[in-house]
Structure 1
């Protein structure tokens, strides 16, 4: 399975890097491919290192203005012209999407992939890895959107939340096998 992971490029402490490394090892040991933003810094590097060290493949999609931070030893590296093209390529290459902890860029990616799914532009499973309760507030917001009629699909069909890396991968594997 080709798994797109949206996540931060920031350097973070172990409460975030530990679970990210664990998820990366599960990807690699499972024979899956990581499709990610291509950066060789911060949490992006932690995940790429973990996948590669565990035998998985790396397919990066960087962008011209960040090409200097692209991982040099990825199995494949695509350089997109801009952020919109980067997102489109990341999503297009993936069988499934995991959204890990991140800032505004990660939130932008998450909302775009969910908006596309809402409109039927893809049927890929999307899982938010809720490390340390990072996305509890977003889950509450989504639940409110659903209860007040803002979502045309049931929330469970739009996105899944997982508290652990193992749960996130299990959700993806079950959904991709089924679909």
Structure 2
């Protein structure tokens, strides 16, 4: 099990490879990237250079931060441009999605999710599942731009109320509306966890 007394140095961001229909989504990506760089954190993400994924990476790189992109070979031309990939600090090309997700998990100290589609949902739900099963204690954040994640939070509550999540305290992400508040909240969470000797007290705003 991962011990969250380890300082948060790298943040894995899950998000859409499309820009979405609301301008706030792309803006949130750029702002989160800028904040990650300004706090001297390292971005780990899916390697895409388009959509919100590209906005996050650009936000980090344009502010002097470090970015590791992890992308399967078959997705390179779908989610990225080869020229833009060359601007990343590090590029890891995997054989398949399973290897990609495993490498992203290994390299991250925390997980942050911006708006996205089915792939984004699948990624963060898997991380929440692993937390529920006791495989890690790394903090999880949903960046709730314009209430985007409200339906998911409602579903999780419904599952818990219906008796299907018996360890709900292990799958309670931090829910944050403002992307500028994400990294400070993660740092505060880590500091509080260390003070409590590794016991998690994740903010429940579900």
TM-score by length of 1: 0.93
Distance in 2 separating the partners of 1:106 and 1:16? 14
Distance in 2 separating the partners of 1:156 and 1:62? 29
Stretch deviating more after TM superposition (104-113 or 162-171): 162-171
CA contact (8 A) 1:95 1:176 kept: no
Match of 1:2 among 5, 10, 29: 10
> Gaps spanning 5+ residues in structure 2: where?
1-8, 195-206
Match of 1:58 among 46, 67, 80: 67
Change (3 A) 1:45 1:9: same
Structure with higher Rg: it is: 2
The ranges of structure 1 where at least 4 consecutive aligned residues each deviate by more than 4 angstroms after the TM superposition are: none
Match of 2:137 among 120, 123, 134: 123
Number of aligned pairs? 179
> Gaps spanning 5+ residues in structure 1: where?
none
Determine the structure 2 residue equivalent to 1:21. 30
Deviation by residue 1:15-54 (Cα, 9 ceiling, x = unmatched): 2111221111110111111100011111111110101111
RMSD of equivalent CA atoms: 1.6
